[in-house]
Structure 1
């Protein structure tokens, strides 16, 4: 059964810019579609037949790779070389999933030579003859043709009176009032998405979100507390409409502050709920707004071949009715026309009822989608917690078998750096892991001040461990120095980082993975340096010591060696 899944949808008005040399916006957009089709497919001999009359007046095209396109027009004017309605359908097989077919519907409804409504709908479906594993749902993406139209110097793009942009609009101090007034404007047609970014801005790029939602929503963002305070002031007692830190709020059209339950339509999403699943948040927002934009369209809008056929049928019916009014005709003809009108009216009434029900169901669908995603996120979180608990249990099981070994080690105090490290490994296994590379570096070290070395190790298992796994924020270098008197450095110099050879000296194999041990503690006494390089294991909550000994080679030490 044919059951297309909507991947992307947009619709907005395009107008000729002052730079355009084409006789109409129709010519500009159709040429852009032709160039997009030429570049979209694989190289083919058929590509030379793309920018031909069929593309403007109607016809078909196909290539040897299974891609095909069809254009239909209605009310084409030879003098101006434009059509009132122009629809383009392009289908091609998915290169990675043989059972999936992609369909792109582009439509242009010309209101004049200077302006038109441009719409794009991208869907995918599974071939009826395909038998195999269902392909995964693809990540949301923006068709290149949409970006080409938005970025064209020869076109302006609008949604109502709002000029569309391919990037999100950043708000600064003083912008809060104007945004608030736009949100509550009764004539606003598009949803407004407001992002209040604090510490989780890396999860969702505002510009990337706007590129996907262009024509379906307008994205604003800010990271300024003054803007937040301005918006709070404007909302006044309606605090349920506010956009808290690290949240996205979707303000739907026709916001009514006087209706107590209206705020429920304007959903918010906490970014921390999607820290590991930002792609899912993008899918929830985009798919719901795509669906809502389709429901809010005029039911007579022409967006594809099927809706164009409906327009043609309505046009034919009107012509029959007009002809019947001019000529008396037979009773059978009048009855036939009357029956067609009744059927048409019933169909339109059913369509309106269906759309009304779909609008009522929108909030319920969005609620369910959010709840499902939150439950899936919670399930993943519990699974991670279980894995972490299992690792910790295995680690503590190891401890119980090492008590006798610890007693043996305490029978004699260490006489060198390696023995000191072995003792420390035995008494701190719940906080420290010592790699063989660290033991080898201790064995080869010339540092002999065991008291200071012991201080470095105990500071690692106590202060440093707490900073990473209890405090988890702040200036670690300063906090560590204030509490221990030792110097902590979290990164190497830029000159050392630029050297592939030197950075390779700061890599260690830990649990089958290559980890970075650039962070290190510094100590010095008697003209000798001691360095403890480590990696913080955030899953098992352990400090992994990868080097404990002399200074690892840097650009500076290399230069000093070369000069002596």
Structure 2
């Protein structure tokens, strides 16, 4: 206890066995002009040693600042670094966790813990039908200073009575606790409610995870790009562990970008400024006294020396003020960088459009054949559509009229592509396409066809060595394959796991692939 009392008033602690595996230091500051304004910070370094692995040094920083009305501001930063120069492996990344001291303070009934005026919680908050309007106001609130993660449910693809969430909300809050609020809903009616209430670019649809940053600005058409989202299918493909680590990194680990945290170095700077200002006052007083009593040349020189010291201190204090301005400039720069990221994200489609425009200018003849038309669309909409090798080969037997093929491909790169981006449920996206297009999008084959392994192999295809399924297809309203208006375009809703970009990949264009029904007719 004696050592702890000594430490908390601004001192150092070492490991008792002198193995140099533990070191702690703290600093304590009382505002000279207000004894109730107290700042304290500590830095604790511990070494984790495991045979055969590089030593890992853990650093825990705790910052404390008193506020008005008996409140205090606490900052916790935990980081680690593996020893440099070690010939061998490094320990694996640590499991996601929340520091025990944070949990202890949050669970202590004597304290009320908040983050940006929002309760500090270690439980995800469930939302119910009827709470949509209140929750929308919370998302758009200009005073909100903490991110919100919203997790929406959706129907299971097979068991329509089952409701799925893309990720466990409790695991999410444990990953980002103290740095974001996590909300979720198991009610599909709440999903519909929010889809109706939210502005188009800020919607969080069924099965989606959306990350709402503070300071939403609906008047800025680029603002929506800041509030990123992950669709249900993407979450399933990446896996829960990957998704949790993504949000952990973005929300809780990139702490060096958060310059508003009160850390050890900030407390050191306050103490240094106090000393400078105290010395400045003393020297100024001494210089004034020297000026009054200076009667000899020596006294005059002393007075000049004191004046020079005074100017030096003024310069140091001014330099300290410039540091504060520099810090503010860094904060502004961080905000500008966020805006730049949004602009770059918005520019990317324009860049693609420019590239497509340049390619279009090189086309010396209007596309007239079933082969020319897909080549045109792959050139102009290279970020939205492509064909597999099998898809290109299928064009040799395509008897669909060029004008019809043009119309259906245009609807796919516009209406269908937009529906796939807006609705995480593929079946729902197809239904929305059917409402807007003069063609029909069929999500997949019948259960009878799926059971036939021989037929199913016909719907297996590859795109850049990635296996895809081309059961979904766009079909014409005429059923006669001899009619030039007839077509079946089989495709896959492909998502690049590296970039997260979506693309429609066509595996067959023109005729009807085999189904249980057509095989029976044959």
**TM-score grouping bracket, smaller chain normalisation:** 0.5 to 0.7
Residue aligning to 2:212? 251
Residue pairs, 1:261-276, within 5 angstroms: 261-275=222-236, 276=238
Q: Please, which of 238, 244, 263 is the counterpart of residue 282 of structure 1? A: 244
- Secondary structure, aligned partner of 2:245: helix
Shift of 1:327: 4.7
Match in the other structure for 2:47:
93
Secondary structure, aligned partner of 2:74: strand
From 160, 174, 191, give the equivalent of 1:228: 191
Partner in structure 2 of residue 333 of structure 1: 309
Cα drift, residue 244 of structure 1? 1.4
Counterpart selection for 2:175 from 212, 229, 243: 212
Q: Alignment partner of 2:73: what SS? A: strand
2:54–2:89 Cα contact (<8 Å) kept: no
Q: Please provide the CA RMSD for this pair.
A: 3.5
3-state DSSP of counterpart to 2:112: strand
Unaligned 5+ runs, structure 1: 1-47, 372-460, 471-564
Deviation of residue 193 (structure 1)? 1.0
Measured in 1, the distance between the counterparts of 2:171 and 2:448 equals: 43
How far apart are 1:162 and its partner, in Å? 1.8
Q: In the alignment, does 2:151 pair up with 1:189?
A: no
Counterparts of residues 301-340 of structure 1 (less than 5 Å) = 302-304=262-264, 306-328=265-287, 330-340=306-316
Using a 3 Å threshold, how does the CA distance of structure 1 residues 209 and 163 change in structure 2: closer, same or farther?
A: same
Q: Does 1:62 align with 2:15?
A: yes
Tell me the equivalent position of 1:174: 130
3-state SS of the aligned residue for 2:178?
Answer: coil
Q: Quickly say closer, same or farther: Cα 1:62–1:246, change in 2 above 3 A.
A: same
Contact kept in structure 1, 2:123 and 2:170, CA below 8 Å: yes
Query: Residues 105 and 82 (structure 1 numbering): CA distance in 2 closer, same or farther, change over 3 Å?
Result: farther
Structure 1 segment 112-151 matched on structure 2, within 5 A: 114-151=70-107
Q: Secondary structure at the match of 2:220?
A: coil
Task: Find the aligned partners of 1:464 and 1:253 in 2 and give their Cα distance.
Answer: 47
Q: What per-residue deviation string (whole Å, max 9, x for no partner) do you get for residues 283-316 of structure 1?
A: 2222222367664553xx5322x22211211222
Report the Cα offset of residue 464 of structure 1.
9.3
Secondary structure of the residue aligned to 1:215 is: coil
1:462 to 1:178, Cα distance in 2 relative to 1, 3 A? closer
Q: Does structure 1 residue 357 correspond to structure 2 residue 333?
A: yes
Give the drift of 1:280.
2.4
Q: Distance in 1 between matches of 2:204 and 2:314?
A: 55
Measured against aligned partners, the alpha-carbon deviations of 1:402-438 in whole angstroms (never above 9, x if no partner) come to xxxxxxxxxxxxxxxxxxxxxxxxxxxxxxxxxxxxx
Name the SS for the 2:113 alignment partner: strand
Give the secondary structure class of the aligned counterpart of 2:101. helix
1:549 corresponds to? none
Q: Does 1:110 align with 2:58?
A: no
Aligned mates of 1:462, 1:257 — CA distance in 2: 48
State which drifts further: 90-99 or 213-222. 90-99
TM-score of the aligned structures, taking structure 1 as reference length: 0.51
- 1:244 aligned counterpart, secondary structure: coil
Which residue does 1:474 correspond to in 2? none
Distance 1:351 1:128 in 2: 30
CA distance in 1, matches of 2:243, 2:275: 46
CA shift, 1:365, in A, is 7.2
So what's the TM-score if we normalise by structure 2?
0.55
> How far 1:335 sits from its partner (Å)?
2.2
Q: Deviations over 1:74-105 (max 9, x none)?
A: 2369xxx9982222322222244433211111
Output the CA distance in 2 between the equivalents of 1:201 and 1:140.
24
Specify the alignment match of 1:74 in structure 2: 28
Could you give the per-residue CA deviations for residues 212-246 of structure 1, whole angstroms, max 9, x where no partner exists?
Answer: 322211111112122122222322xx211000122
Report the alpha carbon displacement of residue 351 of structure 1 after superposing the two structures with TM: 2.9
The separation in 2 between residues aligned to 1:286 and 1:205, in whole angstroms, is 14
Q: Give me the whole-angstrom Cα distance separating, in 2, the residues matched to 1:105 and 1:365.
A: 30
CA contact (8 A) 1:69 1:88 kept: no
State the distance in 2 between where 1:254 and 1:143 align: 28
Q: Which moved more, 1:272-281 or 1:244-253?
A: 272-281
Contact 1:89 1:106 in 2 (8 A): yes
Contact kept, 8 Å, 2:46 with 2:59, in 1: the verdict is: yes
> 5 Å matches for 1:410-559?
465=451
- Work out the number of aligned pairs and report it: 323
Which position in structure 1 is the counterpart of 2:473? none
Matched position secondary structure for 2:28: strand
TM-superposed deviation, 1:318 = 2.5
> Which ranges of structure 2 fall in alignment gaps of 5 or more residues?
157-162, 289-305, 349-446, 457-522
Task: Report the 3-state secondary structure (helix = DSSP H, G, I; strand = E; otherwise coil) of the residue aligned with 2:214.
Answer: coil
CA contact (8 A) 1:216 1:293 kept: no
Instruction: Provide the C-alpha distance between the structure 1 equivalents of 2:151 and 2:448, rounded to a whole number of angstroms.
Output: 39
**Alpha-carbon distance in structure 2 between the residues aligned to 1:248 and 1:63:** 48
> Aligned pair in 2 of structure 1 residues 297, 58: CA closer, same or farther (>3 Å)?
same
Q: 1:361 & 1:87 partners in 2: Cα distance?
A: 30
Aligned-partner Cα distance in 2 for 1:274–1:249: 12
The separation in 2 between residues aligned to 1:324 and 1:56, in whole angstroms, is 28
